[in-house]
A and B are shown apart, each in its own frame.
Chain A
Amino acid sequence: MSTKEERERIELLQGTLDLLILRTLLRGPAHGHAIAKTIEFNSDEVLQVEQGSLYPALHRLIKRRWISVEEGTSENNRRAKFYRLTRKGRKQLKVETSKWDKLAGAIARILRPAG
């Protein structure tokens, strides 16, 4: 990783990764690698997930019981751990999304003051 790439990287909030994971799982259960890929893809490659930090985030979510984990087989018939959103997690997703909107709105107002 060159320093140039490092500088261009946008740094995210810790809680935001959790939010993205929850949102990704809204569509259905997925395994860790797929989650990372989905986030990158859906953000048009803007968000490069340092894939290692995915796992502490996933375990945090498991500990809070926002997601659950189960064994399954992936698309190429390999076994993998699948993560699934729980009911609590679904509720929390709404809460976190609204918090994020508020935050983003506040920053936007500061950056581009109206009038």
Chain B
Amino acid sequence: MRRGRRILEELDRDIREHIERETQDNIERGMTPEEARYAAVRKFGNVMRVKEDTRDVWRIAWIEELWQDIRYGLRMLRNSPGFAAVAVLTLALGIGANTAIFSLIDAVMLRSLPVEKPSELVVLRWSARKAPRINGYMSSGDCPSNLRFGAANPSGCSFSEPMFREIRNTNQFSGVAAFANAGPLALTGNGPASMISGQLVSGDFFNTLGLRAAAGRVLELSDDSPTAAPVAVLNYGHWQSSFGGARDAVGRTIELNGVAFTIVGVVEQRFTGITPGSDYDVWLPLAAGLRISDPRMWDNRQDKVTFWWLTILGRLKAERPILQAQAAISGIFRNEMLHGSIPLFEAGGMPGPPEPRGGGGPASRQVVIGGPAPAGARAVPPPPVGGSQSSVVVGGGMPPAAGGQGSARVPAPSAPVAQGQAPPDTPNEPRTFSKPDDEPTVTLVNAQTGLTGSRGRFANPLYVLMFAVGIILLIICSYVHRGARPSDRLRKYRESIVGASWITPEGNRGAAGARGGANANRAPALDGKPAFGSDWRHFGNRFCVVGLACDRFFRIEQSAAAADVCNGARSSRAGVHRCRFSSYRSPVRPCASFSQRTCGCNSCIEGRIQRFDENFPGRREKV
């Protein structure tokens, strides 16, 4: 259009000069100046129309054309209601399915985390060769977890609360947040009792994520202590629906599982949970977990290193690259796991109950009692978890801390238990159990990808569904043009394939191009629930789908109709190969321009210029 504007600026002058020249030529042919000018102007044609047509070449008039299509299509619908009804119904079903799938995909997969600077957030993931010896493990479904009994190379993202506190104290991150599902919450004190979902979060959860309050305030560090008064922060959508969006909900007291909580605020509207697809009604401080849970289930987990239940997020510091932070955190984790007050993993060569030499798979421990270490002592911690061990590996000397541990309470091992045998005392030589180190490590995973939530489970099925719906739309389009004449069928088939294949990929991906930019700082508006039409992405998708479907459908109809009309014209005026469209009913006039476009014509010049159609030599043009 810019090129056009430049060139069009002088169109008036060009036309004037053209007529000038023609006038001059006419004068040379012997006409008088008035006659010459008159003839020149006549020969040129209608100047206004020429200017309009020329401008049309550059104008992108597709919106007007689309509108004409729609109007014509409605007329066609009135004329043949049966066929139109069936076609419209099937198209509507296809479009509806498409939109539904897209909404689902969008909500689950495409939106970036609704927090401030999501690219700085990392989630902690532990992994090891063997499962840790813990008493309790709870996963809130935030990330893929692999802790089946006996499985090799387990991993997960749940940690104990003492570990969380230790990580927070190391100052590796500019902010650390921990959270976990609060379990079923019975809400009373606000009308009829109901069950709501809630999340237990650390005091600086909201601050770390950079979330603000839409009303009242969010949780602070001071709220997360056993002696602090129990407070709660509401989900914006829940506030609107269950509390009517009343301003005085802040400060109100409600009861969750019988425990009184004061509502101190409502979080901003776009946040419903940090893990994509999560939608919590209320957030409570970690310290409140004890009060609202069954003590037997809760098991005093807030102080236990053997109960892993918290997902931990950290915000990276600008001056600390992720690998440095990861190495530091991993080191802390490892030390704690192997040499902490309660070691939960096995360090290679660590003193423990001796075991009989056993054959068996990679998971079993093989032991060489006594004697020097067959292999060299390992002074450096082994690299992070690789493949499973395949042969007898002798644990060399572990870092000197092995001997100096305090009350090393060795919990019951999960593998076959050893027979007792008095370990020989060789103070100078390290115990040489040929056990491989469990290699507990922590990796920092970018939160956007690490917090999969329902994404992981549904990603593949969703894409398959979207593809399937796309195929269905193609089939629908191919059915729609059954009414076309056989001679046009191939061309129209091609067109409807092209049109339909626009609909799904373009409609979806075009409108959802945000996938690539998911890690950008932009955090698009996130409704409480993904409502139809309330989001530009949904609208864009539906617009593309509906618009393209209608456009394709109507064009095919029109071409078919035009063909019929032209044939009728030819047969009725034998010998005169003329098919002047202007003399026919109005539905036909749009035909001309539309079939031009279906045949790939660049501009739509209406009026007396009509496109030649190979099948219907009756339609012609004037040059």
Which residues from B are CB-within-8-Å of A113? none
Which residues from A are CB-within-8-Å of B612? 13-15
B596 nearest CB neighbor, chain A only: A14
- B43 interfacial by beta-carbon distance below 8 Å: yes
Chain A, interface SS category: helix
- A26 interfacial by beta-carbon distance below 8 Å: no
- B488 interfacial by beta-carbon distance below 8 Å: no
- B418 interfacial by beta-carbon distance below 8 Å: no
Known: A55-B14, A63-B58. A11 touches B602 (CB 8 A): no
Which residues from A are CB-within-8-Å of B620? 11-13
A51 B57 Cβ-Cβ under 8 A: no
A17 nearest CB neighbor, chain B only: B623
Instruction: Determine how close the nearest CB of chain A comes to the CB of B313; give it in whole angstroms.
Output: 53
A residues 39-54 in Cβ contact with B at 8 Å: 47, 49-53
A1 nearest CB neighbor, chain B only: B42
A63 B3 Cβ-Cβ under 8 A: yes
- A72 interfacial by beta-carbon distance below 8 Å: no
User: How far apart are the CA atoms of A37 and B57 in the complex, in Å?
Assistant: 23
Which residues from B are CB-within-8-Å of A94? none
Which residues from B are CB-within-8-Å of A16? 623
Which residues from A are CB-within-8-Å of B22? 33, 51
Which residues from A are CB-within-8-Å of B18? 32-33, 51
B residues 349-405 in Cβ contact with A at 8 Å: none
B54 A80 Cβ-Cβ under 8 A: no
Interface segment, one of B128-136, B245-253, B533-541, B603-611? B603-611
Which residues from B are CB-within-8-Å of A80? 14, 17
Total A-B contacts with CB atoms under 8 angstroms apart? 94
B602 A55 Cβ-Cβ under 8 A: no
A52 B602 Cβ-Cβ under 8 A: no
Which residues from A are CB-within-8-Å of B601? 14
- B294 interfacial by beta-carbon distance below 8 Å: no
User: How would residues 592 to 623 of chain B score, 1 for a CB under 8 Å from any chain A CB and 0 otherwise?
Assistant: 00000000011101000111100001001111
Name the residue among A9, A32, A47, A52 with the largest chain B CB count within 10 angstroms: A52
A53 B58 Cβ-Cβ under 8 A: no
Which residues from B are CB-within-8-Å of A81? 10, 14
Which residues from A are CB-within-8-Å of B46? 52
- A109 interfacial by beta-carbon distance below 8 Å: no
User: How far apart are the CA atoms of A107 and B620 in the complex, in Å?
Assistant: 14
A59 B622 Cβ-Cβ under 8 A: no
User: How far apart are the CA atoms of A33 and B11 in the complex, in Å?
Assistant: 13
Out of A47, A53, A63, which one reaches B609, CB within 8 Å?
A: A53
B56 A56 Cβ-Cβ under 8 A: yes
Which residues from B are CB-within-8-Å of A12? 620-623
User: How would residues 1 to 33 of chain B score, 1 for a CB under 8 Å from any chain A CB and 0 otherwise?
Assistant: 001100110110011011001100100000000
Known: A33-B21, A56-B605, A81-B14. A49 touches B623 (CB 8 A): yes
- B100 interfacial by beta-carbon distance below 8 Å: no
B605 A14 Cβ-Cβ under 8 A: yes
Known: A32-B14, A51-B22, A52-B44. A62 touches B7 (CB 8 A): yes
A residues within 8 Å of B by Cβ?
1, 9, 11-17, 32-33, 37, 47, 49-53, 55-56, 59-60, 62-64, 69, 74, 78, 80-81, 107
Additional A-B contact list (10), CB under 8 Å, known A33-B21, A59-B57: A11-B620, A13-B612, A13-B623, A14-B605, A49-B623, A51-B18, A51-B45, A55-B53, A59-B4, A80-B17
